[in-house]
Chains A and B, each alone.
Chain A
């Protein structure tokens, strides 16, 4: 079983819909990251979470440390949000430099 599991694997939405992508992990972590991989392949950091909730524009990320679960929400989705969203965790203790990645969730937003 992978240490980081994402769901769903693929998600298709209509423009304007509210999107939720889930991430569950099975190890102790010091931080959780959400990344976005554009259709052209480039990867950018969206959020780093160690507790609570963060918001940037139409993106909201939450984490529940006790339940080992995080969600990424996109409000008022737009075709330009189409990308692969990747969850990754920094393990607690030694080796926090070594991110463990989920396989990603491919989001397609249709106009």
Chain B
């Protein structure tokens, strides 16, 4: 199984540009998450989804949008990129809401906004 696939791995954006970070899982997990990881800080939840068609905000949703049209895919959209969005982004999925069987993470996207 591929697990959770994130693309791209690296990206440099100019201020004001937009982009979509792709995330796909092949484990039929209902629960999917987007986190950002800033240096010296714990991961912060941006958005999450409990199933196709259902998404909700996490701790730091401003400047981001998500959609969940299928169980497999959970893209994260950055509109009008700002330097504060420079970070490493991780997509993750789980079988249950509290991760009883663990979480599967993508390999991350390192984004720099200049």
Interface residues of A (CB under 8 A from B): 2, 4, 30-31, 33, 35, 41-45, 48, 86, 88, 90, 96-104
Contacts and interface: CB of A to CB of B under 8 A. Distances in A.
B43 A44 contact: no
Q: Size range of the interface on B?
A: 20 to 34
A18 B91 CA distance: 33
B98 A101 contact: no
Given A42-B105, A43-B105, A44-B105, A103 B99 contact: no
B99 A48 contact: yes
B105 A31 contact: no
Contacts of B101: 48
Given A41-B88, A41-B107, A97-B50, 20 more contacts: A31-B100, A43-B90, A43-B92, A43-B105, A43-B108, A45-B102, A45-B103, A45-B104, A48-B99, A48-B102, A86-B43, A88-B42, A90-B97, A90-B98, A90-B99, A99-B43, A99-B45, A101-B42, A103-B40, A103-B42
B98 A97 contact: yes
A43 B97 CA distance: 18
Contact of B42 (A2, A30, A31, A45): A2
Q: What are the 9 tightest A-B residue pairs by CB atom distance, in nearest-first order?
A: A45-B102, A101-B42, A43-B105, A90-B98, A101-B43, A96-B98, A97-B97, A31-B98, A103-B42
Which of B41, B43, B103, B104: most chain A CB closer than 10 A?
Answer: B43
A98 B45 CA distance: 7
B48 to A, nearest CB: 6
B31 interface: yes
A96 B48 CA distance: 12
A101 B44 CA distance: 7
Contacts of B97: 90, 96-97
